[in-house]
Amino acid sequence: MYLGALIGRLMPCRGWVAGERHAGAEPLVTGRCRPYDESTLRKKARELAQHGGTEHVARAVEASVERAVGDSGTKAVAYTDIYDQVYWTKKPAYAAPIASRGKRMLAATFFGMTFVGLGIGAALAYFLSWHKPASPLQDALEEVHAEPRRAAWLSANLRLHIWDRGGSSRPSLRWAIARRIPYLTVANGSTLWTRYRRPPRVHTRFKVPVFVRRDEAVARGRPEGTNPEEVIFPAHPSWGRRSTKALRYRTGASLSTIDLRNLDRVYKTRWPCNENAIKALVAVGFHRNLDRGLTRTHSRGIDGRWARLRAREQALRDTIKTLPRAMRKAGRLVRKKVACAKERATLVATPAVKGARMPTGAELFCKNLMLLVYNRLTLLLRQSPIEEARTLTPARVHELLLGQPLVAATTGEATTLWLDPLPVAPERALQQEIVRLFNEQSLLLHGRHLSLRLRDPTSPSS
């Protein structure tokens, strides 16, 4: 009952208190005589999160995507990005540049979001991770591939993993190629395709050459069987040879001739399958701050210094092990050990004077619930033969159906929800299509068959 009430309160773009005021249909789901108080749902959501609810819901989100990919019978494309969520506080807190706020430095929480495109124009949410302000995209990528089971599924079912230029640095790509991730990203800056003289691999549909060369900066130390490449692709393919500007795409996948000829289209699927999906979730309250507590901690910069120090110390220990005993006290090695000790002492002495939001409350649990509903709704809409219905966002579905007033009629074996039809004919057609899709799911409510019906405004009984 708590989960049913929570989902009803999360998807509309309102706060907890406003959700209570508009929860008139909640007693139908819970069987209570009145909606839950917002304080009750806050408390229960926190309890569910603290007792493992977040992990259970996150696994359900992953399972919904894995089933959909398995049913499609083809390999999918994954997309990962960082979403920054602003929070307002008067207490000292760590901050980061927020894109939607004109790159101003604001207190924030970063979320790594991974979507999986099914090749049918639909993208499902797969994984959500929590990060400190100013965390790089590589942190989100590492979190996705951290669990062996999830990493194994991604390796077996993905043909491409696309992310933006924030993850195009040499360390990020070396990390990806070492794990045999079939990545595709674009490098910062641009070049001229007229600078290259080697024979082109293919030509675009507008007869512009596409050059493919080995990515030497990433290939050093690569595992056997991998082949990182750099693709020089025209920035404006439709302009033909009139434009000499080109972009440098970097990939660790074996791209086909068709992919190379349309590489800009392949990469730009990141917009409908990743960027637009995040915006659609934000439109229904995904950006809501449900927990505002701050935890005293170190900044992301200090965490990075700790990681680099541990890597230096491990490399130094490995070097010392390979040397003869007589050479282990060489002056150069001693100086490195002293430098590492000084760096460690400096980091240990750094005080945690500012706060950051940590995943200790119910927000990550609620966000995963929203992703689960988003996936189910997306798969349901994809069953429609109407193109406009297949591309509806959760906000539009709420306007057309879920947010409309209704009258419930309950009999011994069925519950019927009567809704007023929308006055505009195109929207009424979409409303009818959504009602049809919901009724085809054979929904049950407290053991009774649940059906939706649109009232006939011309009928005398209505």
Say which DSSP state 193 is in.
Answer: G
Give Cα separations from 340 to 271, 300, 313 (angstroms).
44, 20, 7
| Residue 308 confidence (pLDDT) | 93
Q: Whole-prediction pTM value?
A: 0.90
Which of 159, 4, 15, 94 is CA-nearest to residue 301?
Answer: 94
Cβ proximity of 378 and 276 under 8 Å: no
Angle of the 148-157 helix axis to the 137-144 helix axis, nearest 10: 90
Using one digit for the tens of pLDDT, what is the confidence trace for 273-303? 999 999 999 998 898 888 888 999 999 999 9
Q: Output the six-digit token pair for 350.
A: 């750094």
Residues 228-250 as b or e (16 or more Cβ within 10 Å = b): bbbbbbbeebeeeeebeebbbbb
Using one digit for the tens of pLDDT, what is the confidence trace for 4-51? 878 877 776 666 666 666 777 778 788 788 888 888 888 998 999 999
**Is the pLDDT confidence value at 462 over 60?**
no
Among the residue ranges 117-121, 125-129, 350-354, the one predicted with the least confidence is 117-121
Cβ proximity of 361 and 302 under 8 Å: no
Q: How far apart are CA 133 and CA 110, in angstroms?
A: 6
Mean pLDDT of the residues in the chain: 89
Provide φ and ψ at 193, rounded to 5°: -70, -15
Cβ proximity of 275 and 81 under 8 Å: yes
| Residue 52 confidence (pLDDT) | 92
Bridge partner list, 105: 97
Using one digit for the tens of pLDDT, what is the confidence trace for 416-453? 889 888 888 889 999 999 999 999 998 888 888 989 99
Residues 67-99 as b or e (16 or more Cβ within 10 Å = b): ebbeeeeeebbbbbbbbbbbbeeeeebbbbebe
Q: Output the six-digit token pair for 226.
A: 């991998």
Which residues 6+ apart lie within 8 Å of 156 measured at CB? none
More confidently predicted of 356 and 6: 356
| Residue 374 confidence (pLDDT) | 94
Q: How far apart are CA 14 and CA 24, in angstroms?
A: 15
